[in-house]
Amino acid sequence: MPGERLPLGFVFRSRVKEEKAPADKAVVTDSKQPRHPQAPKGRPTPKRSEAQSQRRSVANTSMTRKDAAKRQREERRAQLERQRQALAGGDERYLPARDKGPVRKFARDFVDSRFNVAEFFLPMAVIILVLSMIRVASLQNVALLLWLVVIVLIVLDSVVTGFRLKKRLAERFPEQNRRGAVAYALMRSLQMRRLRLPKPQVKRGERP
């Protein structure tokens, strides 16, 4: 009836019901099952088939890493094989960094084109060692004298070779980096010709 007042208890109960209604609806809409650790927030728990497919994808990823590591090992092995063939044949494309470049090639050819006293050091050392082991005073004196002669000859030959090579490099490659080329050539001269790597590409007496 217009103008009729409602009881205070009735008004209070109706307001309480209106405030509780959204909360009750929210409780009904929320899932009672616990959220799966792999499920994003606000999304349902993935099915067993989906979880298995995710595990398979992780396994495939690990296999891919193994394949990548295996591929890297194969590439490394192929690179080493190319370097070995380049050291035997002199192919500049696959030589190690210390052997690359026209300056290093000229230094190798310069040493390989001549006789070097240092390359005969190993056989001479064996002979001297045998003589020194014989318990004869005269032979031991000869062995000691040979040691001194060999060392002096190697030093003199290395000095002459280094001086000539340095001069030729300055004439041939005036604007290129020649640092370390002389030492590189002298170290090569200490090796026997058949054991040198890269293999000699010039004959003895042939001008590089």
| 115-147 per-position pLDDT tens digit | 999 999 999 999 999 988 998 889 889 999 999
Whole-number pLDDT of residue 47: 60
Whole-number pLDDT of residue 31: 46
56-65, 102-111, 137-146, 154-163: segment of lowest average pLDDT: 56-65
Whole-number pLDDT of residue 181: 96
What's the average model confidence in pLDDT over 87-113? 88
C-alpha to C-alpha distance for 107 and 162, rounded to whole angstroms: 10
**pTM for this structure?**
0.63
Which one has a higher pLDDT value, 28 or 203? Answer: 203
What's the average model confidence in pLDDT over 143-154? 94
DSSP state of 191: S
| CA distances in angstroms from 57 to 45, 51, 54, 60, 104, listed in the order given | 18, 10, 5, 5, 52
Whole-number pLDDT of residue 71: 83
Confidence of residue 11 (pLDDT cuts 50, 70, 90): very low
Whole-number pLDDT of residue 10: 46
Whole-number pLDDT of residue 91: 75
57-61, 106-110, 190-194: segment of lowest average pLDDT: 57-61
110 pLDDT higher than 80: yes
63 pLDDT higher than 90: no
Residue 146, token pair as written in the block: 């040979």
> Could you write out the three-class secondary structure of 110-174?
HHHCCCCHHHHHHHHHHHHHHHHHCCCHHHHHHHHHHHHHHHHHHHHHHHHHHHHHHHHHHHHCC
**Amino acid symbol at 22:** P
Residue 42, token pair as written in the block: 């606000």
10 Å CB burial of residue 174 (0-12, 13-18, 19+) is exposed
Whole-number pLDDT of residue 16: 44
Whole-number pLDDT of residue 52: 62
Contact (Cβ atoms closer than 8 angstroms) between residue 44 and residue 31? yes
Contact (Cβ atoms closer than 8 angstroms) between residue 200 and residue 119? no
3-state secondary structure of 23: helix
166 pLDDT higher than 90: yes
- pLDDT, mean over the chain: 78
C-alpha to C-alpha distance for 195 and 197, rounded to whole angstroms: 7
C-alpha to C-alpha distance for 133 and 138, rounded to whole angstroms: 12
17-26, 33-42, 69-78: segment of lowest average pLDDT: 17-26
